[in-house]
Amino acid sequence: MCCIEYGGELGYYQEDIARWKAEGEIEILVKIGIKVPDAPCTFLSDEPYRCTIYKTRPYVCRHFVNGGTPCIDLRTKHGLPVYAAA
Ligand code: SF4
């Protein structure tokens, strides 16, 4: 849900940039230069949806808690059912 609705504005930290440089992830570095509000994340594959950079995804994605406060806020904003954190 969040990858589809908010991934176009994918956030990342300097630590992500440093890791991607060290890993030689040039394509990621190029793609993150373009932010498109309300668009799916550029790293999300078409159905079946999956993160194409899962192993090196940004910290913001690694630490997003399903059922956490940001998740609940986003789901509420879009009128979706809210689930408790596992
Ligand atoms: S990088 Fe992967 S986990 Fe993060 S928003 Fe994009 S598709 Fe989702």
Nearest CA residue ID for atom 2, ligand 1: 51
Assess whether the C-beta atom of 28 lies below 6 angstroms from ligand 1: no
- 28 C-alpha to ligand 1 centroid (Å): 12
Band the pLDDT of 75: cuts 50, 70, 90. confident
- Give the model's pLDDT for residue 17: 93
Residue 61 has φ and ψ, to the nearest 5°, of: -80, -35
Closest CA to 10 of 62, 67, 72, 80: 62
pTM > 0.85:
no
pLDDT at 86 over 70: no
In this predicted model, what pLDDT tens digit does every residue of 14-62 receive, in sequence order? Answer: 999 999 999 999 999 988 887 777 778 889 998 888 999 999 999 989 9
